[in-house]
Structure 1
Amino acid sequence: MIIGVGIDVVDVERFEATLERTPALRERLFTAQELTLGIASLAARFAAKEALAKSLGAPSGMHWTDAWVVTNSAGRPFLEVRGTVQSRASELGVDSFHVSLSHDAGIASAVVIAEG
């Protein structure tokens, strides 16, 4: 059963400017592994985190680094969650997430489906 759906779109250039203006933001938004990626991939992952929050009803108190995108050997993205995000997912009965990422022409986007 689908419990929630979220979508988000990020302007990559604007996102990069924000990260340059506020360097500490990188560590608040991303895990160490994510920080090794290029700006378009970071923007897509930020979109995924926003879409994830929306799929969970956008509650306050969730930590950005309690969710991250990993890819399998074929390049398919998956969401990993822990802590505050896992607590909210469990509260809603979510036992899996589906995520799709894209970045092209200066725009990064993500869709997340929360399923129980």
Structure 2
Amino acid sequence: MIIGTGIDVVDIARFEEQIARTPGLVARLFTPLERDLHVRSLAARFAAKEAAAKALKAPPGMIWQHCWIENDPSGAPVLCTEGTVAEEARRQGIDRWHLTMTHDGGIAMAMVIAERTGEPAGAAPAGTRAAESSGDGAAS
């Protein structure tokens, strides 16, 4: 059952300007492994974090670094969570995330689907890496 969906679009040039104006922004928004990526990849990851927050219905108190993107062996993006984001996902019964991200023509975009699969105990814990995700990995 789909619990929530989220989509977000980021203007890459505007995002780059915000990063330049606010030196601590990258450290506040991104995990250490994400911080050295190209600005278009950071913009796509920011869009993914925003989309995840929307899928969770934007609860207060979420910490940006408690949601990050990794890539599976095929290069597809995988939404990972811990702390405040994982706890909210657990509270809502979310046990699977689906993510796709892209960037093209100066725009970065991400879409997230939060799902409750109803899998039996012992399944992957809520708010951890998605068992499935989709995407072309272009924003990695």
TM-score (normalizing by structure 2):
0.82
Structure 2 gap ranges (5+) = 117-140
> Equivalent residues in 2 for 1:1-116 (5 A)?
1-116=1-116
Distance 1:96 1:36 in 2: 28
**Count of matched residue pairs:** 116
C-alpha RMSD over aligned residues: 0.5
Q: Which has the larger share of strand?
A: 1
Encode CA deviations 1:39-91: one digit per residue, 9 max, x unaligned.
00000000000000000001110000000000012110101100000010000
Structure 1 gap ranges (5+) = none
Distance 1:12 1:60 in 2: 26
Encode CA deviations 1:5-30: one digit per residue, 9 max, x unaligned.
00000000000000000010111100
Q: Which amino acid aligns with 1:33?
A: L
The one of the two structures with greater contact order (alpha-carbon pairs below 8 A, sep at least 6) is: 1
| Rg larger in structure | 2
Q: Which amino acid aligns with 2:110?
A: A
Distance 2:110 2:101 in 1: 4
The runs of at least 4 consecutive aligned structure 1 residues that moved more than 3 Å come to none
